[in-house]
Amino acid sequence: MTADRVPISNATAGRGSRPARSAEDAVSAFGAILDVLSRQISTALIDGAGWARLRNAVGDLPVDPGSGFGFELRLADAAAETDFYIALPRGCSLGDYYIRLGERALPGSASAALGNRLAAIETEAPWSDLLCVEFDAASGSPGAPPGLFARIRSDLPEKGAAGSPDAPSIAEWLAGAVGWRLIDGEGRALTRAFDAVAAAGSSVDCLGIMPGRTRREFKVNSRAMESERAPMALEGLGWTGPAGEVAAFLARYDGLFRSLRLAIGVTAGGVSPRIGLELFQGEPGSPSQPGAGGWPPFLAALCEDGLCLPRKMDGLLAWPGRELVFRGRDTFGVLTGIGHVKVSFEEREGGAAIMAKAYPTAGYLPFEAIESRFAMR
């Protein structure tokens, strides 16, 4: 999860702010929203089989007006499928669903762990202002537990001050939410990662964990970072991957993006082999329309470098901006845009492996709010 993944979800920041609307006013599950979007999004990005897997993963989950969610699209992969993420603001229906699921689950199970953590989040995790669940709908095993990401508040006291949590304590809370315990070395490795990001003039925006994947690691995402400082952060992390390829990419794409964040994996042994550069056409947290601004030349450059299929570039440039979902006493729709593109680097036998993914984001809102926001773009 990154901050841009949930730009519109803050419309429902807590129980007191969630609109009280009847069943006649809005849809109640993600399946209805996916049905609308499946008719608007290019089949080059998500085809019928991809939508079927996505509905199977999240179609029955509850949705509130104001819910934020988004897609994760592999741009050079011939398969037209997506992973998916959903914001969990305080007091949302999806959070309540996971709490109830945990109450009925077997003690010690992943569902019980997540439900327990969500029920006590106000007292146990005051350092976080937003959670997000992530689903490997394209490649994950059916029934695998979702990943969980926690955004760290930007207004916390400086490191070492009273009330400022350290990296191990944040990771311990997160691990407990998926039924894990920290193992020897993870806390130290995460502390080094947090310190390396800070030394590069940034800070950690969110920490995540994907329990359904084979590799056990924590996902660490920085806040905005000056692009020339990214190599410094990687050196401080002790990353042994293709640093020359990262430098060459940043030089090649200089001027084609406006802001950058660093995405890394951390294990007990240190930083994972794959790192990512999250690239934005605006400020992180402000998704933009793909057909405007800097996305067309940026995506064209990815195509030239073999990091994006031309048909997927065309599909992204035609990504819908606003769609009507439900018309009744009140009218609801979805406002969407491209949050960022992540370019990942990893050393493999025979040379560096580079991969690009796009992260469109969306919010389910009253249509009058969509119209006003769309007009401001």
Q: What is the pLDDT of residues 134-173, one digit of tens each?
A: 999 998 777 789 999 999 998 887 776 656 789 999 999 9
- How far from chain centre, in Å, is Cα 19? 25
> How many structural domains comprise the chain?
1
* Whole-angstrom distance, CA of residue 376 vs CA of residue 164: 37
pLDDT at 139: 80
Lowest model confidence (mean pLDDT) among 1-10, 176-185, 362-371: 1-10
Integer Cα distance of 154 and 127 in angstroms: 9
Q: Which of 334, 268, 358 is nearest to 8 (CA)?
A: 334
Q: Which residue has the tokens 């025979």?
A: 350
Residue 147 phi/psi, 5-degree rounding, is: -75, 160
Q: Which of 223, 191, 190 is nearest to 209 (CA)?
A: 190
pLDDT grade for 375, boundaries at 50, 70 and 90? low
The pLDDT of residue 287 is 75
Percent of the chain with pLDDT over 70: 88
Q: So what's the pLDDT on residue 15?
A: 31
pLDDT reported for residue 327: 66
Q: For residue 376, what pLDDT is reported?
A: 45
Identify the burial level of 94 via C-beta atoms within 10 angstroms of its C-beta, where 0-12 means exposed, 13-18 middle and 19 or more buried.
Answer: buried
Cβ-based neighbour number of residue 344 at 10 Å: 16
Token output for 313: 């570039």
Sign, CA dihedral 71-75-80-83, equals negative
- Domain hosting residue 12, numbered range: 3-375
Q: Is residue 223's pLDDT more than 50?
A: yes
DSSP sequence for 123-192: HH-TTEEEEEEEE-TTTSPTTPPPEEEEEEPTTPPPTTSTT---HHHHHHHHHHHTT----TTHHHHHHH
What is the DSSP annotation of 283-324?
A: STT--B-TTSTTHHHHHHHHHHTTSS-HHHHHHHHT--SEEE
Enter the tokens of residue 197: 């990001």
Q: How confident is the model at residue 1 (pLDDT cuts 50, 70, 90)?
A: low
The mean pLDDT value for 51-76 works out to 95
Between 322 and 193, the higher pLDDT residue: 193
CA atoms within 13 A on the CB side of 287: 33
Single-letter amino acid code for the residue at 358: A
- What is the length of the chain? 377
Which has more pLDDT, 97 or 8? 97
Out of 15-19, 115-119, 188-192, 350-354, which region has the weakest mean confidence (pLDDT)? 15-19
Which pLDDT belongs to residue 7?
A: 37
The arithmetic mean of pLDDT across residues 17-42, rounded, is 72
Question: Does residue 245 surpass a pLDDT of 60?
Answer: yes
Residue 179 in this model has a pLDDT that exceeds 90? yes
User: What pTM did the predictor assign?
Assistant: 0.89
> How confident is the prediction for the chain on average, in pLDDT?
87
Q: Percent of the chain at pLDDT above 90?
A: 70
Are 317 and 291 spatial neighbours (Cβ–Cβ below 8 Å)?
yes
What is the average pLDDT across 4-16?
36
The residues pairing with 225 across neighbouring beta strands, listed in sequence order, are 260
pLDDT beyond 90 at 25: no
Residue 293 has pLDDT above 90, yes or no: no
> Do residues 326 and 26 touch, judged by C-beta distance below 8 A?
yes
pLDDT band at 352 (very low <50, low <70, confident <90, very high): confident
Tell me, what's the pLDDT at 26?
58
Q: pLDDT-derived band of residue 366, with 50, 70 and 90 as boundaries?
A: confident
Q: Residue 199 and residue 233: Cα distance in Å, rounded?
A: 7
* Cα separation, 285 vs 261, whole angstroms: 12
Look at residue 106 in the predicted model and tell me its pLDDT.
Answer: 94
Phi, psi of 218 (to 5 degrees): -100, 135
Predicted confidence (pLDDT) at residue 363 exceeds the cutoff of 50: yes
Distances (CA, A) of 75 to 35, 57, 151, 186, 311: 23, 21, 26, 32, 9
Find, among 59, 71, 35, 19, the residue nearest to 319 by Cα. Answer: 71
**Which of 153-157, 207-211, 251-255, 348-352 shows the lowest per-residue confidence on average (mean pLDDT)?**
348-352
| Beta carbons of 169 and 150 less than 8 angstroms apart | no
**66 or 202, which is more confident?**
202
Q: Which of the four pLDDT bands, split at 50, 70 and 90, describes residue 373?
A: low
Beta strands in 6-157 (DSSP E): 68-74, 82-88, 128-135, 147-152
How far is it, in rounded angstroms, from Cα 319 to Cα 339? 12
Distance, C-alpha 367 to centroid of its chain: 24
Query: Between these two residues, 1 and 237, which has the higher pLDDT value?
Result: 237
